[in-house]
């Protein structure tokens, strides 16, 4: 395993769509090991391959309360439902965070390290947010494209502007029909 340098904006590798993985060989698990080590060292929740300069559709996600690291090859957002405001940061935009709009529920299809097709659904939790965030990277977008307003970003050491200072956890989560969502969940399935 090796620590890799994390690319920061405006590095062009972060603004271009990544390439689909077509070869599932021994180099892929090695890259994943490096990505996990780099993500953990930077205290991140997720890391996309292009954030370490490798322009392929691959990301890793590790939710703090969970024991597993999710590895998603060729992930694709299949559907997004509802909307919620969240505070978000990014390893490729160090020293800043902002208020973004994210879906409440996401469905993703991807492949595992052996190339088997998988699906995951996440709702109202950090996993849903991380899936959208990392897949955004693989599509050449940073969280900055999802800010609720141009001024909805601030330095980590500063207090957020007053209009963004409210506690995001107090806002009710709603699905696409406007019904309040009570529980957070994740569902995984194999195709």
pLDDT in tens, 75-131: 999 999 999 999 999 999 999 999 999 999 999 999 999 999 999 999 999 999 999
Mind listing the pLDDT tens digit for each residue in 117-158? 999 999 999 999 999 999 999 999 999 999 999 999 999 999
CATH homologous superfamily of 12-81+105-142 equals Peptide deformylase (3.90.45.10)
Report residue 31 as tokens: 């890259």
Q: Domain-by-domain residue ranges, the chain?
A: 12-81+105-142
Q: Which residues is 120 bridged to in the sheet?
A: 108, 188
37 is catalytic: no
Query: Of these residues, 134, 166, 174, 182, which one is catalytic?
Result: 134
């Amino acid at each position: 395993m090796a620590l890799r340098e994390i690319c920061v904006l405006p590095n062009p590798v972060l603004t271009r769509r990544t390439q689909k993985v077509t070869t599932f060989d021994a180099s892929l698990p090695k890259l994943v090991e490096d990505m996990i080590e780099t993500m953990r060292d930077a205290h991140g929740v997720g890391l996309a391959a292009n954030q370490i300069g490798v322009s392929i559709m691959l990301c890793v996600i590790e939710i703090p309360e969970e024991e597993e690291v999710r590895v998603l090859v060729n992930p694709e957002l299949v559907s997004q439902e509802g909307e919620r405001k969240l505070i978000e940061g990014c390893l490729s935009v160090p020293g800043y965070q902002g208020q973004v709009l994210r879906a409440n529920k996401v469905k993703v299809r991807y492949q595992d390290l052996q190339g088997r097709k998988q699906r995951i659904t996440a709702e109202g939790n950090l996993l849903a947010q991380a899936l959208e965030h990392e897949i955004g990277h693989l599509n050449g977008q940073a969280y900055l494209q999802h800010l609720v307003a141009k001024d909805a970003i601030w330095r980590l050491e500063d207090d957020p502007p007053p209009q963004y200072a409210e506690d995001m956890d107090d806002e009710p989560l709603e699905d696409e029909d406007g019904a309040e969502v009570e529980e957070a969940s994740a569902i995984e399935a194999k195709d």
